[in-house]
Chain A
Amino acid sequence: MLVSEAVSRKAEREASRSKWKAAASVVLSEYLVLALCVLYTLVMIPVVPEIATVEVWQNILSDMMPLLIVSLGQTIVLIIAGIDLSVTAIISMASVVGASIMTQSDGYLSGPLAAPAAMAAMLLVGAGIGLLNGLSITRLNMPAFVVTLATTTFFGGCAIWYTTFHSTTTSIYDLPDMFISIGDRDIAGIPIAVIVAVTAALIVHGVLAYTILGRWLYAVGKNPRTAYVSGVPVRTTVMAAFVLSGMLAALASIVYTARLQTGTPILGERILLDVVGAVVIGGTSLFGGKGKVIWTVFGVLFLVLIDTTLKLLGASLFAIYVIKGSVILAAALLDTLRTRYLGVR
């Protein structure tokens, strides 16, 4: 009796273990989030039949693009165990600086070169604020959270102040057609915004997966001390992460500004939660050392999908926030569970 009892108990344990393992492999799968997207869509079809239409998906795609570009930068920064809260201020600042240069009503430049020059200036703004973040973090040894919280507040204010010199309203209008075409034109049937975002995603993926800098980023995120002793230029790597994040935020600002056809200092205000949320939902760890572009693509898709369906349902803004907040919390919890209890990073 004792033996049979022991055998059955053992079998039970084994069964529960294999179940646990199967559950773990699903939770840990790279494509978990994509699978959730598909599942969610299928479940929502009876409730919001519009979700099965091409137009809705075109909207989802176009909403995804700028968010994806910012999230790419955030992915890089989270990989080094940092965080960049200044992306929203960068988007705003770049937007008004770019617009002030190329606006047809009394901009700094006019003619065919105005738009390219303005875009270059926007990227420069992003790189500059990123560099300031990176320098403060590496040279003054301040935590990324505090530094970027400070820069986001500072440049958020600067953006509004800067606008007052160039416009009597809150925004700068009359942007050149060449610039606006980024927001609404296609090349061979593919929207320019999609081309920009996909190119950025491929480049960031290439950097992370195939370059020395990519390896350095992961190493610094996993253990900066070991990385330093192994000859990794830790400061340069951290700085590169923040500069890249700043430039990608500025690139997103180009797309946002073009779509809105105005430069405005409140452009990025509401997306901070979406950016950090999308990256974490994708599976990039807040603890550093782990993250992939494809995960972030899925995370952005998931978040935009929820957003779109809730809007189609006619949910109120606060309901959308409550639900998005819950999803992001669940993702962060999952990250902690994965890291702490399954020991997988």
Chain B
Amino acid sequence: MQTVQRSSPPLLSVEGITKSFFGVRVLHGVSFELWPGEALGLLGENGSGKSTSMNILGGVHQPDGGRMSLGGVPYAPQSPREASRAGIAFIHQELNLFPNLSIEENLFITDFPKRSGVPFIDRRWMRKRARELLAEVDLDLPPTRLVGNLAQGERQLVEIAKALHADAKVLILDEPTTSLTRREVERLFAIVNRLKSRGVGIIFISHALEDVMHVCERMTVLRDGAVVGTDLRERLSLPGIISMMVGRSIDAIYPERSTGPREEVALRVRNLTQRGVANNISFDIRTGEVVGLSGLMGSGRSELARLIFGLDPLDSGTIEVAGTRLERPGPKASMAAGLAFLTEDRRNEGLLMDASIVDNIGLTFLKRFKVGPGVISGKALNTTAAELARMVHLSTDRVQETLAKHLSGGNQQKVVIAKWLLRRPKVFILDEPTRGIDVGAKQEVYRIINRLVEEGGAVFLISSEIEEVMGLSDRILTINKGEITGAFERSGFDREAILAAAMAPVGPKREAYA
């Protein structure tokens, strides 16, 4: 481990923090330091101890051992409130804003400015201060706007403004770029840099390694609850970081496939149109083929997937699965025809978080375990679910006892995949299958995709990571504003060209529509 010589004392120092939950030790002495004005990338797979470390820093949990100091004085927050008073601002992946309140109300939710002497809110002062704070994060919006009407990136900036209002010395950003468009990410980076120049220390947690490399001067890599290394950006490489994270070197991120596309068409989409969402979209996916869909945030990529699976109504167009036309759209009919759909919203649409792994897996195809009129065999279901869990390399085999919410993100995603594999789908639509999951789990998802197509399935892959789409697809379609703007064969994959096509202006037809 490299130590960097510095003259000034660190802003935050964390020394030998240990923590156990129910007798299981999850942190084995985590140590790192953060200097004012720097961004430290905190990297590690799910379950490596990042969240627990940050929850200790943020006062959510108390450590069993070790010590922390902030600005030279001992720091041991007993609650999130104490942590934020001490100057730690934790911006969670799931933002903690009230969508039904305005921006200014969210900014001042914990300390509404009062008129002196009377218990009324000083709206005027609040609005003025809110404007200042919004200006600091480059957010040109009226403070009275409801947070529910803001885009994800804007909400995040409101959270940062809130941290500025609390005069945060340390800003923890947990997966800040996952749900942002590229432009929003750039704006976020500009603000991070501005905060750095003002002496704020930033801890940046993300699975998007490129983003971390871009914005952080130093990285600390965690594995299994311990720090495996801390070093300057210049001395680290992407493959190096990945092997530190997983504890072995990963030679090929995208595993090879042994088969290619066949002749027969698995999914035929013709003239799919829904006003404002999809405009006259036609394409085929053949059996044994992976077709990637690349597009920017808001391009209509997820909406297209939802249209095909029947979650949203269609204005016109036809969908055929293995030659059979889908007459009545809806998840049930789509599933009966052989479609499966992995949603990008794992927590709210993909899983029953409070149900066991078995109950989650069985949900898509309970009929398969029928032994009498409406009666199912729980035993058969348990056996099959356990088999599927092994097949997707789930971390636990206690499929009846373990609830989905107790699994890591990667394992949760494997459960979602398993529940669709139960139906042996002919066409599997995967919307952001690797979002928010770690490198090791990503690779396993890739293997499952390969196995699926090798065994005669077809995959429609939607991902915001262009490398992923390029690494897995036989063919790539690009989408912008609900129109297909380009098609690329594997031999002609070119990052720049695909990106350009994804941003290409859409045709005059479109204007006629609007």
A-side interface residues toward B, CB under 8 Å? 6, 10, 13, 21, 206, 209-213, 215-216, 218-219, 222-223, 225-233, 289-290, 343, 345
Contacts and interface: CB of A to CB of B under 8 A. Distances in A.
A213 B363 contact: no
A145 to B, nearest CB: 20
Given A6-B65, A219-B355, A289-B354, A231 B332 contact: yes
Given A212-B367, A215-B366, A222-B355, A229 B376 contact: no
A52 B29 CA distance: 60
Interface string B338-369: 00010100001111111100010011101100
Contacts of A13: 64
B335 A231 contact: yes
Given A10-B64, A231-B331, A233-B332, A226 B374 contact: no
B412 to A, nearest CB: 12
A243 B378 CA distance: 26
Contact of B354 (A211, A222, A228, A230): A222
B419 A230 contact: yes
A81 to B, nearest CB: 11
A211 B335 contact: no
Nearest to B406: A343
B350 A229 contact: yes
A231 B364 contact: yes
Contacts of A212: 366-367, 370, 374-376
B352 A219 contact: yes
Contacts of A218: 355, 359
B70 to A, nearest CB: 22
Given A210-B378, A231-B331, A219 B354 contact: no
Nearest to A228: B331
B348 A225 contact: yes
24 contacts: A206-B375, A210-B376, A210-B378, A211-B374, A211-B376, A213-B374, A215-B362, A215-B363, A218-B355, A219-B352, A219-B359, A223-B353, A226-B352, A226-B363, A229-B311, A229-B341, A229-B343, A229-B349, A230-B419, A231-B332, A231-B364, A289-B352, A289-B354, A290-B354
Contacts of A223: 348, 351-354
A215 B376 contact: yes
Given A226-B350, A229-B331, A231-B332, A211 B311 contact: no
A226 B331 contact: no
A210 B350 CA distance: 24
A290 B356 CA distance: 12
A227 B335 CA distance: 13
Contacts of A343: 405
B366 to A, nearest CB: 5
A345 B366 CA distance: 22
A228 B22 CA distance: 35
B349 A211 contact: no
Contacts of A290: 354
A219 B356 CA distance: 11
A20 to B, nearest CB: 11
A21 B419 CA distance: 33
Contacts of A222: 352-355
A230 B335 CA distance: 9
A215 B350 contact: no
A216 B363 CA distance: 8
A334 B240 CA distance: 51
A342 to B, nearest CB: 12
Given A21-B22, A209-B378, A219-B359, 8 more contacts: A211-B375, A215-B376, A222-B352, A223-B352, A225-B348, A226-B352, A229-B341, A231-B332
B206 to A, nearest CB: 27
A230 B364 contact: yes
Contacts of B311: 229
Contacts of B359: 215, 218-219
B370 A227 contact: no
B295 to A, nearest CB: 22
A337 to B, nearest CB: 16
A6 B374 CA distance: 59
A19 to B, nearest CB: 14
A209 B378 CA distance: 9
Contacts of B374: 211-213
Contacts of B376: 210-212, 215
Contacts of B354: 222-223, 289-290, 345
Contact of B352 (A21, A206, A209, A227): A227
Contacts of A227: 352, 363
Given A213-B374, A215-B376, A289-B354, A226 B64 contact: no
Nearest to A17: B22
Interface string B447-476: 000000000000000000000000000000
A227 B359 CA distance: 11
A227 B348 CA distance: 10
A229 B340 CA distance: 10
Contacts of B351: 223, 226
Residue among B353, B364, B367, B375 with the most chain A CB within 10 A? B375
Contacts of A206: 375
Contacts of B370: 212
Contact of B349 (A210, A225, A232, A233): A225
A176 B311 CA distance: 54
B447 to A, nearest CB: 24
Contacts of B64: 10, 13
B355 A230 contact: no
Contact of A230 (B331, B367, B405): B331
Contacts of B350: 226, 229
Contacts of B355: 218-219, 222, 289
Contacts of B378: 209-210
Nearest to B423: A231
Contacts of B331: 228-231
A230 B363 contact: yes
A120 B269 CA distance: 51
A165 B322 CA distance: 63
Residue among B335, B354, B359, B405 with the most chain A CB within 10 A? B354
B67 to A, nearest CB: 12
Nearest to B346: A226
B345 to A, nearest CB: 8
Nearest to A232: B363
Nearest to A211: B374
B362 to A, nearest CB: 7
Contacts of B22: 21
A212 B367 CA distance: 7
Contacts of A216: 366
Contacts of A211: 374-376
Contacts of A21: 22
Contacts of A345: 354
A345 B405 CA distance: 11
A6 B352 CA distance: 41
A229 B312 CA distance: 11
The 8 closest A-B pairs by CB, nearest first: A222-B352, A230-B363, A231-B335, A212-B366, A211-B374, A345-B354, A231-B332, A229-B349
Interface string B396-420: 0000000001000000000000010
Nearest to B331: A231
